[in-house]
Chains A and B, each alone.
Chain A
Amino acid sequence: MKQVVVTLALTALVALPLAAQAPDVAARLTGRVPPEVVSAVAGIAASAAGRGLPVEPLVQKAIEGGAKGKPADRVIAAVRALSDQLAAAADALRSGGGRVDADVVEGGAYALGAGLGVKQVQQLARASHPPYDAALTLRVAATLAALGVPPKNTVDLLEGVISAGRSPSELLDLPSEVQAGVAQGATPAQAAQGLGRGAAHAPPGQPGRPPGWAPPGQQKPPNPHKP
């Protein structure tokens, strides 16, 4: 009994702040999207708020669909799909025992949408202990997956960079570094593996790049004093 009360209290602690941020969705959408979208999205948002999910991404998705001139049914479908991803991410993060605020849940939803699995999202959230931000790690993971890096390589790379003690802002460089590797002929997986090896070997404070890496056109001339 005591455990049930504690669980309910903890759930309320998590859910109440998220539910409290639910704005007047209908008022924000009126005039921006067709009336049927307003009512459908207001319903989806109310349900999401009741489950402790962030509402703002749903409102933004509906506004985006209206601005892009998408038909009502596609806008509603996109908002519903995002709501499902947010719910899946929140479930994954809660069962993983990690931080469950709006930003992290949204990051988790993008990571799931990009192809990462529930366990991988939990794994990355757990690895993102301070000063690392789980929301940031998950968004970088989503971008890496969108670039074509397989989910396992994505998780390995991010965990490697974190465990090597790189600065949190260096995580943000990873997508562009993978892109640079792909531009030089590597597959996304190879580029990620190379970055992971570089991160493991380079001392902290230096960018996690593979040995011998230099930006195109900036290769260092050979040092004649080195054997």
Chain B
Amino acid sequence: MTETFHSLVKRLLDGELSLSDLPPELRGEGAEALRLLGAVDRAPVALSAEFETRVMAEVRRRARSPIRRVWRGLVEPRDIELRLRVRPWVVWGAALAAAAAVALLLTRPPQASEGARPMRVAAGDSVYVRFVLYAPTARRVAVAGTFNQWDQTASPLARVGAGGVWAITLALPQGHHQYAFVVDGAQWVPDPAAPGVDDGFGRRNSMVAVTARGARIL
């Protein structure tokens, strides 16, 4: 018999939810599923004494084998206790070096990727945000917004390959920024991936929220 339970009931069976977490209309189904599972799990399994004796004899025989003992010694994990005796300045030096390495990794800009979404790529007061627009017939593309005083010459996008994708990575301060793409110096285009807000002039601006944890289009 195959019965399909609601996905929340399946999560109840996985132990991710309790019966009280389910909406009232699913609690009956949940209780029934738990009852069925409980009946299966709790069925007693009886083993004969002779079976247990045979199993343990085989285990002892294998444990005595010198070849298996050598193999286990080579491949099985084991606990190793390592005692180090170091001076405090060595510990502090290592910690500082690790912190510097982490900071270096976090502030490196990422590799290029396609898509029309700003993304978080660095940490600090400013966050690297990548702007991407697919405009195969464009001769030039720029991004203008509150972060560059709506200056369409300040942040020109560069062509990425020959597929009509344009991109630029900018370091933006934390906060909320409105922006739009400017195609060929005349056409203002909102980010196709962002819903945007009314710009007050009959069109839409896109919006990006830049936080310490990254950037997200709004």
Contact = CB atoms under 8 A, between A and B. Distances in A.
A114 B209 CA distance: 17
Given A227-B13, A227-B37, A146 B198 contact: yes
Main secondary structure of the interface of B (DSSP, over half): mixed
Interface in B143-158: 144, 146, 149-152
A179 B116 CA distance: 15
A198 B5 CA distance: 17
B19 to A, nearest CB: 13
B33 interface: yes
A211 interface: yes
Contacts of A172: 209, 211, 216, 218
B20 to A, nearest CB: 12
Contact of B197 (A103, A146, A173, A201): A146
B176 A60 contact: no
Interface stretch (A8-16, A74-82, A89-97, A150-158): A74-82
Interface residues of B, number: 43
Contacts of A211: 6-8
Interface in A135-158: 135-136, 139-140, 142-143, 146-147
A82 B188 CA distance: 21
B150 A64 contact: yes
B195 A147 contact: yes
Interface residues of A, number: 41
Interface stretch (B74-82, B90-98, B106-114, B199-207): B199-207
B209 A113 contact: no
A140 B200 contact: no
Contacts of A179: 195
B196 interface: yes
Contacts of A208: none
B175 interface: yes
Interface in A9-63: 32, 60-61, 63
Interface of B: 3, 5-8, 10, 13-14, 16-17, 21-23, 33, 36-37, 144, 146, 149-152, 175-176, 178, 188, 195-201, 204-205, 207, 209, 211, 213-214, 216-218
Given A142-B197, A226-B14, 10 more contacts: A65-B200, A78-B199, A103-B175, A146-B195, A169-B211, A169-B213, A172-B218, A179-B195, A203-B16, A211-B6
